[in-house]
């Protein structure tokens, strides 16, 4: 079963990082929410020496050009929306996303 590394915020606004097993990214998000956390970042971990596409693409995007890729903007918007739905203030959400980048 795939393992996902995640960063989340609890009810008090404390950041935490851990891993969770799930078949899909959506299932992982649901499991994290069931634990009472609000997911901020979710990445599938590499399986037995194979690189996951997401981490390698993020590495390439940061070194190839100064233009922001559509995938990065989409991921940013999705994470910002998740934080907004969790009830975090916009400024705190933006600072959290800034630290991640």
Residue 57 has pLDDT above 50, yes or no: no
Q: What is the pLDDT of residue 90?
A: 82
Q: Whole-number mean pLDDT of the chain? A: 78
Confidence (pTM): 0.49
**More confidently predicted of 16 and 94:** 16
52: left (phi over 0), alpha (psi -120 to 50) or beta: beta
pLDDT at 72: 81
Structural domain including 14 reads: 3-100
Q: What is the pLDDT of residues 16-50, one digit of tens each?
A: 999 999 999 989 999 999 999 989 899 998 765 55
SS3 per-residue string spanning 15-26: EEEEEEECCCHH
How many distinct structural domains can be found in the chain? 1
- Residues 6 or more apart whose CB falls under 8 angstroms from that of 44 comprise 2, 3, 4, 5, 25, 52, 54
Model pLDDT, residue 66? 60
């Amino acid at each position: 079963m795939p393992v996902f590394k995640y960063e989340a915020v609890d009810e008090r606004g404390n950041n935490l990082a851990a891993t969770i097993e799930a078949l899909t990214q959506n299932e992982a998000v649901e499991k994290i929410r069931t634990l009472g956390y609000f997911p901020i970042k979710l990445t599938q971990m590499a399986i037995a020496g194979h690189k996951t596409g997401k981490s390698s693409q993020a590495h390439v995007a940061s070194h190839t050009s100064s233009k922001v890729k559509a995938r990065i903007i989409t991921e940013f918007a999705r994470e910002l929306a998740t934080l907004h739905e969790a009830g975090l203030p916009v400024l705190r959400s933006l600072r959290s996303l800034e630290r991640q980048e």
